[in-house]
Amino acid sequence: MRHDGRVDVEPYRGELLAYCYRMLGSFHEAEDLVQETMLRAWKARDRYDSTRASLRTWVYRIATNACLTALEGRARRPLPSGSGAPSDDPGAPLVPASDVHWMQPFPDARFEVEARLDMRLALVAAMQVLPPRQRAVLVLREVLEFSAVEVAEQLGTTAAAVNSALQRARAALADVGEAEQVMEPGDPRARAVIQRYVRAFEAADVPALVRLLTDDAVLEMPPVPLWYSGRHAYGLFMERVFAMRGEGWVATPVTANGQPAFAAYAPEPGGGCRLHSLQVLTVTDGQVARNVVFTDPRVLEAFDLPGQLPSDELLLPR
């Protein structure tokens, strides 16, 4: 029996956005593809047959096809640490690589908690290395918990082929253990570390920042392709930042990709602070292991952050 035409896929919008984000590594492209999926579903609503597949399975087939089409012939979206060796020059020019489509963060506050599972930056970045169909199998099976038969239907293949692709994807990501070690933003120990890091950052206290880092902590700044590894290099670069921009920074806590983060506001010569970056932190075993600093204005817009903090607001207790 055919569906009567009242196909409502709107309840799936949040999880579809998270799915498209995992597939493409871009929040803005994911938003566009969800809109495309909704439009395709509406146009095909009379062809949906509830006796053949659930509505969720059907709409994910549409979303998957949209993602795979978008990914045809496209280079993966990396983080700087995945595209070259670390820099040993803390004074290197900070020149954006505008020809690279970099990984983007996901603004948690705009969507339900369930849409953030398995969305750590390092894991999503690692997924981008997988072939697109393999990536789709991994997310559909491991994250969204569709059966092999359902995924085969969505991809137009066999359950055996799905299981084989899943094994290859698991093997390729076997070394990405960071996702299991990351402390949740709500963990009291993680909160304490982040609070100390933010206080040190606002005070421009580089020695205090460095004491909170793991030995091999990574600092990267897309769209600048440079990245630094280790406490010493991290500290030298932060000294450069504070020397260039001065003291009096302000940090506003947020979350991104299910990780603790903060919006960093740099002091302005005439007073007040201007939005400088979104910094997404990875906390492992009570220390900061990675800081991904996003400065692209379009990325910052996705988090609905004020562009400036007037001087009078900075005097209020926070």
| CATH code for the domain of 313 | 3.10.450.50
Q: Is residue 1 part of a domain?
A: no
Residue 183 and residue 284 share a domain: yes
Residue 211 and residue 145 share a domain: no
Residue 251 and residue 114 share a domain: yes
Closest CA to 276 of 241, 232, 225: 241
Q: Is residue 141 part of a domain?
A: yes
Element (H or E) spanning 288, and its range?
strand 287-294
Before 105, cis peptide (omega within 30)? no
Assign residue 49 the CATH number of its domain.
1.20.140.160
Q: Is residue 4 part of a domain?
A: no
Q: pLDDT truncated to tens, each residue of the chain (318 aa)?
A: 344 446 788 999 999 999 999 999 999 999 999 999 999 999 999 899 888 889 999 999 999 999 999 999 888 899 999 888 999 999 999 999 989 999 999 998 877 655 455 788 988 999 999 999 999 999 999 989 999 999 999 999 999 999 999 999 999 888 665 444 566 667 788 889 999 999 999 999 999 999 999 999 999 999 999 999 999 999 999 999 999 999 999 999 999 998 999 999 999 988 899 999 999 999 998 999 999 999 999 999 999 999 999 866 654 455
Residue 246: which residues within 8 A CB-CB, separation 6 or more? 266, 267
Task: Collapse the DSSP code of 220 into the 3-class scheme (helix H, G, I; strand E, B; otherwise coil) and give the result.
Answer: strand
Provide the whole-model pTM. Answer: 0.90
Beta bridge partners of 292: 220, 280
Contact between 49 and 63 (Cβ < 8 Å): no
CB atoms within 10 A of CB 133: 17
Residue 249 and residue 163 share a domain: no
How much is the pLDDT for 179? 45
Residue 298 and residue 238 share a domain: yes
Closest CA to 280 of 295, 296, 266, 294: 294
Residue 147 and residue 242 share a domain: no
Residue 190 and residue 84 share a domain: yes
> Considering its fold, how many domains does the chain have in total?
2
CB atoms within 10 A of CB 283: 26
How much is the pLDDT for 2? 40
Question: What's the domain range around 290?
Answer: 77-130+177-318
Residue 264 and residue 152 share a domain: no
CB atoms within 10 A of CB 173: 17
